Amino acid sequence: MPERITFKSLNKVQRSCVFSNLDTLEYKRALDLQISTLNAKIDNPSEPDRVFYLEHPEVYTLGRRGGRENLTVSEDFLSSRGIEIVQTDRGGNITFHGPGQAVLYPIINLEQAGIGVADFVHGMEEIMKLTVLDFGITADRDPKNHGLWVGRKKIGSVGISIKKNISIHGLALNVCPDLTPFSWINPCGLENVAMTSIAMEKGMDTTKDEVNKDLMNRVCHLFCHHFSKIFNISIIRE
């Protein structure tokens, strides 16, 4: 268990959550799904916690406090590439999502689970850290700039929002995406940040769809495993 996570109430009852692999889902549809899941849990606290695993088609998302100023190309240019910019209410600044990036959205009542917000963010980073370690990649958190880093290159990001003690949004880990669109922003508001991915670190060929699909499936299994261990929540696969 990560050093700072001391969930006091976890010994009472082991909680469970329903895990769904949604494959590829457009960002706004995934956001609608998260919000409807959240609202269902607010209306009926016995609704289960849920975790969604997915990839998005190419999209930029802004944090609650924005991030449009960290675009380094024009919005017309992005429009010409068919890439939308979506305002969200999560923490953090601008980021990019696209195919080959593994995204995890836990819709969890943190108070019932006995997990503090800071510990939840820390735990999400730990899930990514242990996942890349399973590929033989050593990565770590940076106390100043959250997310997950391989040396000075960023490989994963976290941004969440809490409503009535329930989390939405989550984490994004670069598995085998085209990293070019990250060069059109200052990711998370940080200038001169280089991005990396599991495939880049391991020198994998990302031109074969089958290989990429196997990689994404492997990451899905690892996310499940590490999520369950770190937060002591058992997984029910849907």
Partner 1 sequence: MKEISDLNFPEDVKYTKDHEWSKSCGDIVTIGLSDYAQDQLGEIVFVELPEVGDSFSQGDEFGSVESVKAVSEVYIPISGEIVGINEDLEDAPELVNEDCYEGGWIIKIKPEDPSQLDDLMDKAAYLNMLKG
Site residues (CB under 8 A) for partner 1? 6, 8-9, 12, 63-65, 89-92, 116-121, 146-147, 158-165
- Least separation in angstroms between residue 135's CB and partner 1 is 24
- Cα 63 to Cα 160, 167, 194, 238, distances in angstroms: 9, 15, 20, 30
- Least separation in angstroms between residue 79's CB and partner 1 is 28
Distance CA 12, CA 15 (A): 9
- The active-site residue out of 17, 188, 220, 224 is 188
Structure tokens at 105: 């959205």
Pick between residue 25 and residue 117 the one whose CB is nearest to partner 1: 117
Distance CA 147, CA 73 (A): 24
188 is catalytic: yes
Half-sphere exposure at residue 34, Cβ-oriented, CA atoms within 13 angstroms:
29
Pick between residue 126 and residue 199 the one whose CB is nearest to partner 1: 126
Please choose, from the candidates 201, 160, 196, 158, the residue with its C-alpha nearest in 3D space to the C-alpha of residue 177: 196
Pick between residue 75 and residue 140 the one whose CB is nearest to partner 1: 140
- Least separation in angstroms between residue 163's CB and partner 1 is 5
- Least separation in angstroms between residue 118's CB and partner 1 is 3
Pick between residue 9 and residue 79 the one whose CB is nearest to partner 1: 9
Please choose, from the candidates 164, 171, 223, the residue with its C-alpha nearest in 3D space to the C-alpha of residue 35: 164
- The single-letter DSSP state of residue 48 is P
Structure tokens at 183: 């060069």
Pick between residue 34 and residue 212 the one whose CB is nearest to partner 1: 34
Question: Within its chain, how far is the Cα of 99 from the centroid?
Answer: 13
- Cα 181 to Cα 36, 165, 227, distances in angstroms: 30, 34, 28
- Least separation in angstroms between residue 165's CB and partner 1 is 8
Query: Strands (DSSP E) along the chain, which ranges?
Result: 15-24, 49-55, 59-62, 84-87, 95-97, 101-107, 148-150, 153-163, 166-174, 194-195, 233-237
Q: Which residues are catalytic?
A: 188
